[in-house]
Amino acid sequence: MSIYPDSVLAQKEAVPAIYRNADFSLVPERFTKDLSVESSLINGRFADRRQALLADEDTVELIKAYTMTGDGVADAYAALIPQYGLQALIGMLEEACDKGIEALQNPPQELVDFIRHMEKTPDWLDMALVEQGAKEERINAATLFPFAIRGAFFATFLNKYTALPMAMTGALSGRLAAKRVFETASFFTTSTLPGALGRYGEGFKAAAKVRLMHSMVRFHAMSSDKWDFKTYGIPIPQVDQMPAGLIGVFILSQKVLKQGRTEFNAEERAILELARYRCYLLGLPEDLLAETPEGIMKLWLTRSATIRHGFDDATCGELIRQTMAADLRRNPSLWGAVENRLEQGFSKLFLLKNFCAGDADKARSIGVELSLSDWLAAFAALLLIVMKKATYKVLRRTPGLSAWSERRLIARVHTLLGRYGKADFVTDSAKYSHA
């Protein structure tokens, strides 16, 4: 009997260009359910839940399967790189997103399958609720995102088993670090605009390009001798995309449960719908898109409980240092310099509170130390965020000012997107380093 479901094994036949060398008879080193082996939950606020999490065999097996699962339709399209070339694939994908697949003459079947997969409407989807969620999140996009995006980005780098694909691509060296941070900020910010996740919205197209980028990484890593499959398994598996797409609702779920509630309220449910559909467009399977606070927590924590602990300075430490050193200033004014300093402090605080359980020693051990000036900058940023959010919410509820404030808010989001710059969502295989 196979240790993986048929959907995992089928990848070898479906996309041999990527998975022909994948040995699905083994469990990679990164995955563990041995209680004597340290996991990513080490020293965290949820460490005491690991035994109970691992006792849920169905959820553990689900996480194991998606630890070895890529993105079938996007992988098949990326595997056409030798035939068409990268730029041609990107061009056809953009045209199909902008005009519809019918507008292309003789598109490859792999592109047709890719677009049709994204166009398929899941049974649970409520687009009106998605739009409401985007409206709720738009305030965060204009106030919180510019300060938190670097700190949220750090989460990817805390474990060598999940950080390696990013390190291998060279995407976070020098000024490319800032580009990747801005591309991530651009995608999530774009998704909060009205109609962005509709079939012909910019968020839909951005999601397609992000999926292709991830599949390009899998193609270049797995089709070469640079990837250690026995240690790391599949590059950027589905379980590693879940945190990026659901970090907001994971934090929200903690808040809800801490308040003694088991369900989201109406506003939170709209935010969840936005996050779930955004993840769906990014290719995440519905199995990983829970609907309740406890369900979200269980999937997230089970993933962490099964990832072997591993922090090495050459990979994780360097990624953190490069990202922390990245110049994210895009506003040339004096206020832009002030915002930049506030963002640096807030990013460190965000990492400390959300990924180091408030443990300053743990943060220091991975290369993030908050000086007095960092603390002051972080709290100043927090005060600014709270004030701006409160102002937008008051204006939104004020008769006669609601529509005007919404236009101002959307304009602010567009201004930020202009500062983030054009998001290319590509990697250069020539710069890949040895795994």
pLDDT in single tens digits along all 435 residues of the chain: 579 999 999 999 999 999 998 999 999 999 999 999 999 887 677 889 999 999 999 999 999 999 999 999 999 999 999 999 999 999 999 999 999 999 999 999 999 999 999 999 999 999 999 999 999 999 999 999 989 888 777 777 788 888 877 776 665 555 667 778 888 889 999 999 999 999 999 999 999 999 999 999 999 888 877 788 999 999 999 999 888 889 899 999 999 999 999 999 999 999 999 999 999 999 999 999 999 999 999 999 999 999 999 888 877 888 888 777 777 776 778 877 888 889 889 988 888 887 777 888 878 877 788 899 999 999 999 999 999 999 999 999 999 999 999 999 999 999 999 988 876 666 555 555 544
**Residues belonging to the chain:** 435
> What pLDDT is recorded for position 174?
56
Give pLDDT tens digits for 295-328: 999 999 999 999 999 888 877 888 888 777 777 7
> What pLDDT is recorded for position 300?
94
> What pLDDT is recorded for position 170?
61
> What pLDDT is recorded for position 435?
44
Give pLDDT tens digits for 161-215: 888 777 766 655 556 677 788 888 899 999 999 999 999 999 999 999 999 999 9
Work out the angle between the directed axes of helices 86-99 and 202-222 (0-180°, nearest 10): 160
Q: What's phi and psi for 260, nearest 5 deg?
A: 85, 10
Q: What is the pTM of this model?
A: 0.90
